[in-house]
Amino acid sequence: MRRLLLLAPLLLFTVTGCGVVQSSESEATEEARAVARTAGERLYGQRPRTAEEVGRSAAGLDGVEVLRLKGASTHEGDGVEVTVRTSGSAYDDTFDPEPVTVVRCFAVRVSPRTEWRENPRSVDCPDGPRLTFAPPPPPPELPYEELEAKLPRVPEGGRVDEAEVRRRVAALDMDRAIDVEVQANDNGRVGVLLSVKGNGYDPQDCLLARVSPGATEVWVPSRMQRMPGEGGCTISNALTRMPPPH
């Protein structure tokens, strides 16, 4: 009996110690899941994308390895399911001599029906190496100098001919991936917007111009104004130039 009583504290410590290790592993797993959840947030969006585009975007995120892609595109069927591998660490300096680090895999679904901050599903890590993706083709170069040279110069007191501006812009030898918008306003100005579709996260490539009596201007908005949601790459900005960011 005396011997059993002496062993009781040791057994209690061992059970408690195992509980702490398990708790640290759970915390590390949740940290790995948080990385996958952040990946889902970055991939979230309504823009149609192929599975390759989704996989390439996911592979470019910090701490994320893409192991499998399921589905053809975000807008077909259930969308694209990306199996990602992430890691997480946790440390309890009272009981753990070393940090507990785990590697986990999660399925992240990308579809127009995906909920914002949808919790990624835990899955078994598939065999094989991570997937690699060729870099995307470079965006077409916007014709700054050509546009500046082609646009008409209208003297002060004159009238800007919208049809003439459209004709000169259409005469430019531009890549078909460049979107073109021309619009006039009630103040006698004609604005021009040349833009390339962005990825929804990085600054969009665009070129603005405005033809007014006495002045023809061509410019690229600042990086901050070209961020998604900032309104820099719009025809409104071409017609009424936004003030520079502070």
3-class DSSP state of 223: coil
Q: Does the pLDDT value for residue 92 go beyond 80?
A: no
pTM (predicted TM-score): 0.61
Distance CA 209, CA 239 (A): 8
Model confidence at 234, in pLDDT bands (50, 70, 90)? very high
Pair 88, 33: CB distance under 8 Å:
yes
Model confidence pLDDT, tens digit, residues 21-77: 457 889 999 999 999 999 999 999 888 899 999 999 999 999 999 999 999 999 999
* pLDDT for residue 24: 85
Model confidence pLDDT, tens digit, residues 149-170: 999 999 999 999 999 999 999 9
* DSSP E strands, the chain: 65-70, 80-90, 100-110, 121-123, 178-184, 190-196, 206-212, 215-219
Average pLDDT over residues 112-117: 88
* pLDDT for residue 12: 38
Query: Could you tell me which residues are beta bridge partners of residue 68?
Result: 83
Rounded to the nearest 5°, which phi and psi values hold at 75? Answer: -105, 15
Within 8 A by CB and 6+ apart from 50, the residues are 72, 73, 74
**Residue 42: Cβ within 10 Å count:** 16
Average pLDDT over residues 194-204: 86
Indicate the burial class of 221 (C-beta count within 10 angstroms; 0-12, 13-18, 19 or more). buried
Q: Does the pLDDT value for residue 242 go beyond 70?
A: yes
Distance CA 172, CA 234 (A): 20
The rounded radius of gyration (Å) of the Cα atoms in the chain is 28
